[in-house]
Amino acid sequence: MRIVALAGGIGGARFLRGLLAAVGPQDEITVIGNTGDDIHLYGLKVCPDLDTVMYTLGGGIHEEQGWGRTDETWSIKAEMKEYGVGPEWFGLGDRDFATHLVRSQMLTAGYSLSQVTEALCVRWKPGVRLLPMSDDRVETHVRITDEQGTRAVHFQEYWVRLHAAVDAEAIVPVGADTAKPAPGVLEAIAAADVILFPPSNPVVSIGTILAVPGIREAVAAAPAPVVGLSPIIGGAPVRGMADKVLAAVGVEATAEAVALNYGSALIDGWLVDTADEASVAAVEEAGIACRAVPLLMTDVEATAEMARAALALAEQVRR
């Protein structure tokens, strides 16, 4: 079976680990990763979501944190601080730095982000084909108003430095309108037997991938069933501040509202947590097959069970 999954960082990566445990060796998984979170720091290109997927599936992730490397040290950051060079609010450890150095070196030499990602994955062997959504630069910005007035900040500044404590007024994936899907992305979607939306952020992870012209259209036109899993349980994100970015696009932070926002033109099936059983009927009324199953990724086996439920629902809605 050929499975395509769109993925952000932590939610996507943890789900993919369960999916890998649920499928067999003959199944091929292609992951289309969000690059709207990418940021240039210290002259280096940092791709937080691609790296979280790569480290998680490759066994190098800091488990509790969900991002960055295990057994990390922070000498470079401390040295940069001595020079008065920030940002201090973004955590790049010594081991992680090596990834960004290799990536930046290869990009400077003329390789595309897809080629670089493939090269990094030679080391990490994530067990999936990891494709960036685009080789072109896309950077999500957030419009906020604070004591400095109304301005746009990089998504990382909004998320990591400001902890989404101010309201997001608009979310703009800068560059997305002219970005092209990376090589292999549209082909993988067209050839898929199943397309999955993990419980990733619907706005700044999945939404950004879908904002690359051609990707949303390809998913909607794909012969494969499309099934998503809700990142919202009981009216709140399981982790993080997804409610803040949902509010910016006028979507309530409920499992039902997120499903309806994707809409039946895009998704055929939707899994909500058992806590949201009451919303199943409304989602089905909107033309999306819906089931309530436990959606907490407490360990790999519980996550594998979620993946099995998603694949089973895909079978039921196969068009």
List residues binding ligand GDP (CB under 6 A).
7-12, 49, 52, 199-201, 205, 229-231, 233, 237-240, 242, 295-297
> Closest distance between ligand GDP and the C-beta of residue 206, in Å?
7
> Closest distance between Ca ion and the C-beta of residue 27, in Å?
25
> Closest distance between ligand GDP and the C-beta of residue 259, in Å?
13
Rank residues 230 and 279 by Cβ distance to Ca ion and give the closer one.
230
The CA R_g of the chain, rounded to the nearest whole Å, is 19
Give the Cα separation of 91 and 311 in Å (integer).
36
For 248, residues 6+ apart whose C-beta sits below 8 A from its C-beta are: 142, 167, 168, 169, 170, 171, 203
> Closest distance between ligand GDP and the C-beta of residue 2, in Å?
21
Rank residues 38 and 135 by Cβ distance to Ca ion and give the closer one.
38
Give the Cα separation of 117 and 113 in Å (integer).
6
Rank residues 239 and 318 by Cβ distance to ligand GDP and give the closer one.
239
Paired sense of beta strands 44-46 and 39-41, if any = antiparallel
Six token digits for residue 80: 């940069």
Residues 85-114 that bind Ca ion (CB under 5 A): none
Asked if 8 is part of the footprint of Ca ion (rule: CB under 5 A), the reply reads yes
Among 6, 9, 12, 227, which residue interacts with Ca ion (rule: CB under 5 A)?
A: 9
The interface partner of residue 56, options being Ca ion, ligand GDP, none and the CB cut-off 5 to 8 Å by kind, is none
Classify residue 21 as exposed, middle or buried by CB count within 10 Å of its CB (0-12, 13-18, 19+).
middle
Binding marks (x or -) toward Ca ion, 42..61, rule CB under 5 A? -------x------------
> Closest distance between ligand GDP and the C-beta of residue 46, in Å?
13
Contact by Cβ (8 Å): 301, 21: yes
For 47, residues 6+ apart whose C-beta sits below 8 A from its C-beta are: 33, 35, 37, 38, 103, 113, 117, 132
What are the residues binding Ca ion (CB under 5 A)? 8-9, 37, 49
